[in-house]
């Protein structure tokens, strides 16, 4: 009976985490370059149960002690492109068969990577993200002066017809993509030991990549999570009522 309580409780905890992931996807459905996440569920390692019989142990069978969060995966598939006609909006088009590319920005003392090309020119004339992080080129922070600049398909930045820099666009080997850590603001950070590589992506100026969130699928998943959570909740209530009767009624003298 107590095992049933624990099993249902682990199911409820996992569904709460899945609900948080789905809610975050829905909240960022209109965020440029956002990559949807999925919470993968696994099971705790099975245990072999044994019983003592005449001083000897005899196997009963295997017991699975419940479910747990295995990993939160990020879907790096490209989102749809939308034309904005703003010179500060840039979109990445990945080369066929290549891993996704990222813009490089300087977030404090750390280098970060983003697919959100919704940039603007700050008061000092630098190209920055919505949060003010400088966009990086091969020569450091990209200085354009005003919004009257051009970016060609290879990422070269032109002001008054002169090439002043080239955007630093990078990618990561496939096995390292899921190691990137998202910390908000549409930014990804590489863990120690994971180094970016130059990317062969093309850049479209005046376009933005939208989030790759499938709203219909997220709503279906949210309903499924609610139903599973409710089922586990009812299982706990039934077990609690049975335990209550066992304690208060079974074996009582009348």
Q: How is the chain split into domains, by residue range? A: 2-75+213-248, 81-209
Instruction: List, as one string, the DSSP characters of 196-234.
Output: -EE---EEEETEEEPP---HHHHHHHHHHHHHHHHHHHH
pLDDT of residue 240: 74
Residue range 224-246: mean pLDDT, rounded:
85
Q: What pLDDT does residue 59 have?
A: 76
**So what's the pLDDT on residue 52?**
79
Confidence of residue 143 (pLDDT cuts 50, 70, 90): very high
Q: Mean pLDDT check: name the lowest of 11-20, 50-59, 230-239.
A: 50-59
pLDDT tens digit sequence for 33-84: 999 999 988 777 777 777 777 777 777 776 677 777 888 899 999 999 999 9
As a whole number, the mean pLDDT across the chain is 89
Give 252's pLDDT tier (boundaries 50, 70, 90): low
For the cut 80, the answer to whether the pLDDT of residue 214 exceeds it is: yes
Q: Which residue has the higher pLDDT, 22 or 10?
A: 22
Q: What is the pLDDT of residue 79?
A: 94
CB of 111 closer than 8 Å to CB of 188: no
User: If pLDDT is split at 50, 70 and 90, which confidence band does 236 have?
Assistant: confident
Share of the chain above pLDDT 70, in %: 95
Q: What is the pLDDT of residue 180?
A: 93
CB half-sphere exposure, 222, CA atoms < 13 A: 13
Between strands 81-83 and 156-159, the pairing is: unpaired
Q: Which residue has the higher pLDDT, 187 or 254?
A: 187
């Amino acid at each position: 009976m107590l095992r049933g309580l624990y099993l249902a409780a682990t199911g409820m905890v996992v569904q709460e985490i899945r609900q948080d992931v789905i809610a975050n996807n829905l909240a960022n459905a209109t965020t440029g370059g956002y990559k949807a996440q999925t919470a993968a569920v696994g099971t705790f390692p099975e245990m072999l149960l044994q019983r003592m019989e005449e001083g000897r142990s005899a196997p009963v069978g295997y017991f699975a002690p419940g479910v747990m969060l295995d990993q939160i995966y990020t879907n790096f598939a490209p989102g749809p492109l939308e034309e904005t006609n703003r010179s500060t909006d840039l979109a990445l088009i990945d080369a066929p068969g290549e891993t996704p590319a990222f813009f490089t920005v300087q977030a404090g003392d750390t280098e970060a990577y983003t697919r959100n090309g919704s940039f603007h020119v700050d008061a000092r004339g630098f190209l920055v993200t919505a949060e003010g992080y400088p966009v990086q080129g091969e020569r450091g922070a990209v200085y354009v002066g005003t919004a009257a600049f051009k970016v060609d398909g290879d990422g070269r930045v032109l002001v008054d017809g002169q090439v002043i820099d080239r955007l630093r666009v990078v990618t990561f080997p496939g096995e390292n993509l899921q190691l990137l850590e998202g910390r908000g603001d549409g930014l990804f950070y590489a863990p120690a030991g994971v180094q970016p590589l130059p990317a062969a992506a093309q850049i479209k100026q005046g376009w933005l990549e939208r989030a790759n969130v499938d709203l219909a699928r997220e709503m279906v998943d949210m309903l499924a999570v609610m139903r599973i959570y409710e089922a586990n909740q009812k299982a706990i209530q039934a077990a609690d009522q049975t335990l209550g009767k066992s304690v208060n009624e079974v074996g009582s003298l009348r």
